[in-house]
Amino acid sequence: ISDIQNNHHFAPDAPTAAAMGLKAGCDTDCGGVYGGNAIAAVNRSLLSEDTIDISLKRLAKIQMRLGLFAPKAGQPYFDASKYGIAQIDTPAHQQLAYEAALQSIVLLKNERNALPLKRGLKLALVGPHVNAHEAFMSNYHGSRCASGKFECIRSPLEALTDANRGGLTSGVEGVEVNSAMNNISAAVGAAKAADAVVLFVGIDGAQEGEEHDRSNCTLPGLQPQLVEQVAALGKPTVMVLIHGGAMCLGALKDKLPTIVDAFYGGERASEALAAVLFGEYNPTGKLPVTMYPPEYLFQIPLTQMSVTAAPGRTHLYYSGTPEFAFGTGLSYSQWQLEPQLQSAAETGAAPIIEIAAAGALHVDVKLTNHGPFAGGQRVLAFVRPRHVVGAPKTAPKQRLIGYSGAQLAVGESTTLTISAQAEALAVSNEVGERVVLPGLYTLALTDGAREVTVGLRVTGVATVVEKRAF
């Protein structure tokens, strides 16, 4: 909250900042502004006691649900057998870190089925993250290893060398993340001598972090030149992106047949990447951000905080063509989605689901894995307004209302049910109420590679599902 006064200069003083935060529904302050200035704001008639009471009640309810008002002896948080030193870094925790890394990896592009790699190849790893350890931990972490450093976190070179059994794996960084260090010729030489190449590129904590924003979203330093020269060899090449904030690839997107987004995958990231690249794990991840084209940064300044200002931010409002859309995520298998609805032949029209403005949506989807790999799949459900009377200009162009998934063998099918309350479609009106508007919508079901759509009609009258809090 102090930021809106001291850094953004949106509030003239601390009591005003406290009043603005509480009135906007921000119940707790990561700092000391509320404690010292809420009373001053009330005394200056900037804030009512009723608004403070609303925030207090919401916070107290959360604490009660956690059991923090119960006697200390009965609270699990003080039980050393559940939360003591012995429960830190257990095998179960390490396995969870591995599974989280696996599920976070997104296959964005896989032309000519360059992935999965075959073992026994002469494999060249190039790029600034070939020997990365700490980079995968992002920020807000302690010293992971007993030494106080990060050597116990495996690097991509270490993990892929082990995974490429019977083959020869080499690693040359070529460039650093963001510097003038240029050893591109050595990296290109290694790539030229290999059967296949994996590029490990991206950013790290030196480019982004809290109170450390980037001014662009492209690969920094000499990385674009490295990518271009390796791509020009025409070898089977996989580009792996390591980053936190969204990236923009520009022309590089079309120069390589295969792109994998690995983000900062944590302590087991390299092992998870090896499992995906060599086909031990069929990727299931879906892109959690919108990847914009590089010119996006010239269309709207980074200092513009509005998500609706043209061309819009996030998948809810962006009106341009993304490099990769929110929810994108390929698999090594071919999947089929079939909504279980009345057919057009039976109804005489395109299938439409009807729900009441105060009701709920339940849609069944038959999911089939046509192979050639067993694996998991996640189906996302988006709703897009088509003809909705009274919809505000700032209404999202789409929203994610639910998802479901399954693990299937080759040739196996299952039926998933995705459910959501109609209030998931609510929009804010001019007085701050959340309202479900009747009208015609499109329900889009996607596996991250393709989508099927059906009509969705919301019947009844406009229904307020959330009143103003103050």
DSSP letter for 400, please: E
Distance CA 64, CA 62 (A): 5
pLDDT of residue 303: 79
Which domains, ranges and CATH numbers included, belong to the chain?
2-65 (no CATH), 91-317 (3.40.50.1700), 335-466 (2.60.40.10)
CB 382 within 8 A of CB 398: yes
Least-confidence region, from 1-10, 32-41, 295-304 = 295-304
Closest C-alpha among 13, 14, 26 to residue 52: 26
* In the predicted structure, residue 350 carries a pLDDT above the cut 70: no
Amino acid at 316: L
* Segment 388-435, tens digit of pLDDT: 988 998 899 999 999 999 999 999 999 999 999 999 999 998 888 899
Closest C-alpha among 225, 157, 237 to residue 195: 237
pLDDT of residue 349: 56
Distance CA 284, CA 407 (A): 10
Cβ-count burial 445-461 (b if 16+ within 10 Å, e if not): bbbbeeeeebbbebeee
Range list of β-strands (E), 194-268:
196-202, 237-242, 258-261
* In the predicted structure, residue 116 carries a pLDDT above the cut 50: yes
* In the predicted structure, residue 380 carries a pLDDT above the cut 80: yes
Interval 141-147 mean pLDDT = 86
* Segment 9-65, tens digit of pLDDT: 999 999 999 999 999 999 999 889 999 899 999 999 999 999 999 999 999 999 999
Interval 125-129 mean pLDDT = 98
Interval 345-350 mean pLDDT = 53
CB 138 within 8 A of CB 207: no
pLDDT of residue 216: 87
DSSP 102-133: HHH-EEEEEGGG--SPPTT-EEEEESTTTT-S
* In the predicted structure, residue 239 carries a pLDDT above the cut 50: yes
* In the predicted structure, residue 88 carries a pLDDT above the cut 90: no
Give pTM, 2 decimals. Answer: 0.88
- Name the pLDDT band for 211 (thresholds 50, 70, 90): confident
Residue 297 gets the label, from left (phi > 0), alpha (psi -120 to 50) or beta, of alpha
DSSP letter for 284, please: -
* In the predicted structure, residue 265 carries a pLDDT above the cut 90: yes
Distance CA 176, CA 186 (A): 13
Strand partners, 441: 385, 456
- Name the pLDDT band for 360 (thresholds 50, 70, 90): very high
pLDDT of residue 337: 97
pLDDT of residue 344: 45
Which stretches of 137-238 are DSSP H helices?
156-163, 184-192, 223-231
- Name the pLDDT band for 325 (thresholds 50, 70, 90): very high
Query: At a CB cut-off of 8 Å and minimum separation 6, what does 456 contact?
Result: 352, 353, 354, 355, 361, 383, 440, 441, 442, 443
Interval 158-164 mean pLDDT = 98
Name the token pair of 194. 């290999």
Closest C-alpha among 280, 316, 298 to residue 394: 316
CB 17 within 8 A of CB 2: yes
Percentage of the chain lying above the pLDDT 90 cut: 80
- Is there a cis peptide before residue 311, judged by omega within 30 degrees of 0? yes
pLDDT of residue 42: 97
* In the predicted structure, residue 468 carries a pLDDT above the cut 80: no
* Segment 362-371, tens digit of pLDDT: 999 999 999 9
- Name the pLDDT band for 310 (thresholds 50, 70, 90): very high
* In the predicted structure, residue 345 carries a pLDDT above the cut 50: no
